[in-house]
Structure 1
């Protein structure tokens, strides 16, 4: 149980505040299950008086989360995107969470801002508006102008926030350990993985230098494009609690009247936005994790401005390949390919394959022949995962959230927008690069490097094994008659299996799957491998 005896003294006050909010919003079961009844006796007096009789359980939890502040809001937003873990009644309610809060008065912000700037704002800037243009749970944003004449925004971390968030994370980590130990049935919800994701995201947002670096990382991706605008960072005044960057004037995509008045080509802008997002995610492996309308701005000349890089997602090469395979499976209505990618992602060791196969086929049938709405498609896909007790990796959950958000923004610009159709050129280009002669050579070199590394470690491993055997005074002698004959038989069988698998892979999966995507080099390699493989199998069959 989460007894205060095991909670650091510095966190007990915060624990009391959390329990008081949970009681006030009628979330008593959480208090009871974590063994906090003894804390509740003292916290009840400070509990907010809220009429929750008419609220559902998800509504009570959502309102309690908003009252608990940024740590819990961020956790709720993470869970809102996890349709593979939670039912729609929960994800729909948690999706209503917002981080917009009442601004902190200027007099409370000013001392911290002056300390970080090294002087009063009136001396550092030619102009500074003390009325914030945005106020969120993490930071407040102000408009200013440099003496050089450049318009900038000044983002200031809310004072005292780090102390509260660090206490929340310690308490949540402690609660997570209890949940894992006491209630194994909650393991499917990946509590420890959710905590790592939460802590990583929050610590990243608490350091505005991290956001500035993310901004420059994304800017480097589009350094050769004038139609994608990323704000310039002013490092002279940027620090952990302060970010000063170029002000980008633009129109949010959800304001059609302003877009029309500015002569913006909304269809063209939707295509450009999709191309930019897919370039980040599929090619570079780093992407804006929250491309909502406030963070993607339509600019004159049909340009797009991206702002707010507090959180970026990252995808490994392997993940990007898996995503390409998923898109290909969906477009080609390939239920088997869909199931294979899902199993690969989740790492499930003992799923009900019959049920999963039926679910995959039903998914394909539901969406076959209809316009592909990406938001609906991904939500349905994650629901299928939940119904088969499969949980998605965190990095993919972040990507899916970003893709669904981007898809929604593009549909506001172009109601007929089809993300899959827009993704076609990028996917084709990526597949061509992966399965070209150069791409295959890189994969072979990577495998060779791995084998060389393993071989180079072999002497050390043998030495360690011998030392341990000597220390334990253990002598083991094994004699197997006919071992040479057995070894040759195993090697021959392994060769047959390996060649057969390669031939089968090229013959039944890869070649037909990508032939229509324009990869002539890969098809040529495939035909060559098929010919050599079949010939080798015939020779192996004769030399029994």
Structure 2
């Protein structure tokens, strides 16, 4: 089933590892359905795995994912947020995945770093701490000081990582096609779509130039706000595998002892962080997709600092409109509005409308109180989608994950924090802007541009049609139920139109001249025309009633 001949030429060694891990953690049925039995048995001979017999399937899956490395960990972390696809047993277990790993030694990092910097670190930096301050599955982070005196962080990709990840993505993409074809019960999860988003996200993280651009793009949104801070990029030392940026002096938002000692206004920080996130997502359509506590800092003057921009989410204007409508429906306890959004997101699926209507009204009743818990609300919303056989669009699932993470951070700052209430003014302001008369005019202008484009293409299409007709290369087959009735209606309409044209011609051209000859002549001619028309109608009706 797997294209093993092709795999043998490029990724066979990695496929051996993956198949061996799946067998080792008890996923024999998955291996069989993927057609990897022979490879897996050979790989498992030399592999040793812990006893997993007592572990549940989600626990075994998590352990296998961690054994397979960063590509699979990223996929698992994405699936952990998909309660519209997976039950709580699975999402809770996958939520335990982490990408913190043991650091690569300085001896292995240094050659790659020197190659990218164009010389030894001592020639670029006045100080460079060889002990990483953070180590993840994709990169390691060091603290340094430039010769100009500026404190910076240096992010370095782990050596040899790209080849492994590229092989994983090729194999996982091939596997997604097989799963979507062979497992109808999993096809609604859209494995290939999930893989496209995963590949885009990981490839973005593998290019640190892309991360630097993301940082500057988000910083430009808040160029007029001093209370929202992004690090400055040092482009002269930044490459695809090395990122050098300003070191932000701040306190993690979860370090309450230091925040209290520094007399920070934690409710104010929570509101500012929420405002910034909503500004990015709802207005600009681009947002920080990983707002966990380590990526948000409290800075002097109650400023909020953002760091780590490897994962960025994007929302189209249509998706932002849908999101505004969904949040507005939640705030207004509008079950019909929620149902409409869910149906819009359902795509080609045909949900049970009566069941969905009951689910939407039940959802509104459960969350009609004050001080809503966003994590509970969004999780319940996605559960409602899953129970009605609907799947969320992947971009929105990423946003929901980010919103839940942000809500968790803000609630740690202010236990009374309600993101829905905090979002209310932004949602109302943007809904007014989007659905106001001016907004409607913009949509009309967009429609006009699309119509102009279609009309401008019409001559070329007509020309192509005529060429095909001259060449005799066009065949059109149309099967329409009730075609006889349709033809009859067209013929009848054409007859009426013809009679109307005759009458009009008689009225405008002949009648005035006949009237000049005398009323008797005019009346006689009028009667003749009417009789001809009636006779024509009767003849056509009789013809249509004759069996063919």
Counterpart of 2:24 in structure 1 is 24
Q: Does the 8 A contact of 2:371 with 2:417 survive in 1?
A: no
1:197 aligns to what? 197
Instruction: List runs of 5+ in structure 1 lacking aligned partners.
Output: 488-544
The residue number in structure 1 matching 2:34 is 34
Q: CA deviation at 1:28?
A: 2.3
C-alpha contact (below 8 Å) 2:62/2:93 kept by paired residues: yes
Of the three residues 436, 458, 481, the one matched with 2:491 is 481
1:137 partner SS: coil
**1:54-104 residue CA offsets vs partner (Å, 9 max, x unmatched):** 211101110110110111001101111111111110011101110000000
Distance in 2 of aligned mates of 1:328 and 1:49 = 50
User: How far did residue 301 of structure 1 move?
Assistant: 0.8
TM-score (norm 2): 0.86
C-alpha separation between the residues in 1 aligned to 2:291 and 2:132?
A: 22
Write the mapping of 1:333-352 to structure 2, written as runs, cut at 5 A: 333-352=333-352
In structure 2, do the counterparts of structure 1 residues 366 and 115 end up closer, same or farther at CA, with 3 Å as the change threshold?
same
Q: How does 1:49-448 map to 2 (within 5 A)?
A: 49-448=49-448
CA-to-aligned-CA distance 1:142-170 (integer Å, 9 cap, x gap)? 00000111000000001110000011111
Pick closer, same or farther for the CA change 1:379–1:473 going to 2, 3 Å: closer
1:317–1:39 distance in 2 versus 1, CA, 3 Å: same
Q: Is the 8 A contact 1:3 1:35 kept in 2?
A: no
More divergent stretch after superposition (24-33 vs 330-339): 24-33
- Confirm or deny: 8 A CA contact 1:334 1:364 kept in the other structure: yes
1:226 and 1:317 map into 2 onto residues whose CA distance is: 27
Inter-partner Cα distance in structure 1 for 2:437 and 2:11: 58
Cα distance in 2 for residues equivalent to 1:371 and 1:417: 7
CA distance in 2 between counterparts of 1:96 and 1:46 reads 28
* Further displaced range: 55-64 or 7-16: 7-16
Q: What is the CA-CA distance between 1:484 and the residue it aligns to?
A: 5.7
Deviation, structure 1 residue 242? 0.6
- Residue 202 of structure 2 aligns to a residue whose secondary structure is helix
Taking the aligned partners of 1:443 and 1:112, their CA distance within structure 2 comes to 51
Q: Is the 8 A contact 2:275 2:423 kept in 1?
A: yes
For each residue in 1:175-213, what CA deviation from the matched residue of structure 2 results, as whole angstroms up to 9, or x when unmatched?
A: 122222222222111111011011111111110000000
> Separation in 1 of the partners of 2:303 and 2:297?
8
Q: CA, structure 1 residues 459+56, in 2 after alignment: closer, same or farther (shift >3 Å)?
A: same
Asked whether the 8 Å contact 2:371–2:421 carries over to 1, the reply is no
- Asked if 2 retains the 8 angstrom alpha-carbon contact of 1:176 and 1:192, the reply is yes
| CA distance in 2: counterparts of 1:176 and 1:7, whole angstroms | 15
Map of 2:469 onto structure 1: 469
Take 1:203 and 1:486, find their aligned partners in 2: how far apart are those partners? 65
Contact 2:14 2:168 in 1 (8 A): yes
Whole-Å separation in 1 of the counterparts to 2:387 and 2:346? 13
Residues 21 and 48, structure 1, Cα contact 8 Å, conserved in 2: no
Residues 99-153 of structure 1: CA deviation (Å, up to 9, x unaligned): 0000000000000000000000011100000000000000000000001110000
Equivalent residue for 1:532? Answer: none
Please tell me whether the aligned partners of residues 181 and 187 of structure 2 are also in contact (alpha carbons under 8 angstroms). no
| Runs (4+) off by over 3 Å | 473-476, 482-487
Cα distance in 1 between the residues matched to 2:87 and 2:368: 24
* Greater Rg over alpha carbons, structure: 2
- What's the offset of the Cα at 1:263? 1.1
Question: How many residues of Structure 1 are paired with residues of Structure 2 in the alignment?
Answer: 486
Distance 2:187 2:332 in 1: 35
SS, match of residue 375 in structure 1: helix
